[in-house]
Amino acid sequence: MTDAAPVDAAPRLGFCCKFIPDEPPGTHKTLKAAREAALAMNVTSVTMAYLQRLAPAAAQAKLAETVTHNLVALRRQVEWVGARPPLERLLRMASSILPGFTHPSIKPFYAQPDLRRAVEAGLAETGARARALGVRLSLHPGPFCILASRNPAALRNGIEELDYHAEIMDLMGYGTGWHPQGAHINIHVGARDPGVAGWRETLPRVCRVARDLVTVENDENAFGLDAVLQLADLVPVVLDIHHHWVESGGAYIEPDDPRIARIRASWRGVRPVAHVSVSREALLPDHDPDALPDFAALRAAGHSWRDLAAHSDLMWNRALNALVGRHLAWADFEIEAKAKNLASVGLAAQIGAGRLAPQLAAE
């Protein structure tokens, strides 16, 4: 691995993948405008089944239309994030920028010169713009992108999918070494068998850019934080606070926990990133927002761990938000809430107003 690229130590938080316009309820015209704004700001997709039903020329045209839209929408998201206050300049990009890129019947379309040039130019321009604006970028492939499996087909698909995400990052200008400007591609471990040992064995099979950019996250079920830290000598570890709360049976990890130092070391000089979310508002409608949810009490009251693991719309729990404020001293945060930018903007407003008393200076 190359040395870590310098990264701004200022804290950042942001949203994941989808932009939601902040439009108040109102007239039909207002709602229509909100829908149009959402379409303009978000990537879209097209099913492989639909493309395969079309004649080759029509399929190529439909794919090019979708990709062109996606490249423009991604650029708009980056510009929007780049115009936010410095605390909010973080974005997890949607994975579906290039639909069907790894599909055997679709991949040849991407080799067509016109489409390839458009992809290369669009991604390069957006990557350069993100760096100019100080926007930290990431990708998070779906749960099928795993490096631990006994199923050869699943493993092959996981490797191909990770390499696809690495190609996007490379074309955006982030294929230059160890997590430049904090860029990363975050995945989970995969199957319990072969687990972390299988993950270690598979990593050398992915492309060099993927090896430089991949990170691994703890989950709420098979691979908790202690298990994932077994990979910290290879790749950076992404702490998910909500997953840790569920998997541990209710523990809230604080910045002075000894494992935080191990997570920070795994990033090799790059500012780490972490994830946070909270249980759904509808599940806990009468819960005091200034008190941390008590996992054991909620389980005893009949809530399943799966229900508690589901993400809320907004970051409604101020006590948990204060914990995020404390962790911002060492990590940036991706806010995994269903209301996306509305949730991250709301949390940033609390922090910016000083209501969470965060320790924002780098240690």
What pLDDT sits at residue 360? 41
Give the residue among 207, 190, 103 at the shortest CA–CA distance from 151: 190
DSSP helix/strand/coil, 237: strand
The CA radius of gyration of the chain, in Å to the nearest whole number, is: 20
Q: How far apart are CA 11 and CA 271, in angstroms?
A: 9
Q: How far apart are CA 326 and CA 322, in angstroms?
A: 6
Is the per-residue pLDDT at 355 higher than 80?
Answer: no
* Tens-place pLDDT, residues 176-204: 999 999 999 999 999 999 999 999 999 99
Is the per-residue pLDDT at 350 higher than 60?
Answer: yes
Q: How far apart are CA 246 and CA 361, in angstroms?
A: 29
What pLDDT sits at residue 273? 98
What pLDDT sits at residue 354? 66
Q: How far apart are CA 155 and CA 262, in angstroms?
A: 28
What pLDDT sits at residue 276? 98
Give the residue among 100, 93, 108, 197 at the shortest CA–CA distance from 140: 93
* Tens-place pLDDT, residues 303-322: 999 999 999 999 999 999 99
Q: How far apart are CA 107 and CA 274, in angstroms?
A: 33
* Tens-place pLDDT, residues 207-223: 999 999 999 999 999 99
Over pLDDT 70: what percentage of the chain? 93
Is the per-residue pLDDT at 361 higher than 50?
Answer: no
Query: Do residues 179 and 169 touch, judged by C-beta distance below 8 A?
Result: no
CB 362: neighbour CB atoms within 10 A? 11
Highest mean pLDDT among 29-38, 227-236, 345-354: 227-236
Q: How far apart are CA 215 and CA 238, in angstroms?
A: 7
Is the per-residue pLDDT at 228 higher than 70?
Answer: yes
Is the per-residue pLDDT at 5 higher than 80?
Answer: no
What angle, 0 to 180 degrees and rounded to 10, lies between the N-to-C axes of helices 318-327 and 341-352? 70
* Tens-place pLDDT, residues 71-124: 999 999 999 999 999 999 999 999 999 999 999 999 999 999 999 999 999 999
DSSP per position, 170-187: IIIII-SSBSGGG-EEEE
Over pLDDT 90: what percentage of the chain? 89
Domain ranges of the chain: 13-275
Query: Do residues 243 and 274 touch, judged by C-beta distance below 8 A?
Result: no
CB 47: neighbour CB atoms within 10 A? 10
Question: Is the model more confident about 9 or about 268?
Answer: 268
Superfamily of domain 13-275: Divalent-metal-dependent TIM barrel enzymes (3.20.20.150)
Q: How far apart are CA 155 and CA 198, in angstroms?
A: 10
CB 188: neighbour CB atoms within 10 A? 24
pTM of the predicted model, to two decimals? 0.94
DSSP helix/strand/coil, 56: helix
What angle, 0 to 180 degrees and rounded to 10, lies between the N-to-C axes of helices 56-82 and 28-41? 100
Residue pointed to by tokens 């090896």: 211
Confidence of residue 6 (pLDDT cuts 50, 70, 90): very low
Confidence of residue 28 (pLDDT cuts 50, 70, 90): low
Question: Is the model more confident about 359 or about 22?
Answer: 22
Query: Do residues 122 and 71 touch, judged by C-beta distance below 8 A?
Result: yes
Query: Do residues 60 and 106 touch, judged by C-beta distance below 8 A?
Result: no
Q: Residue range 330-340: average pLDDT?
A: 98
What pLDDT sits at residue 1? 37
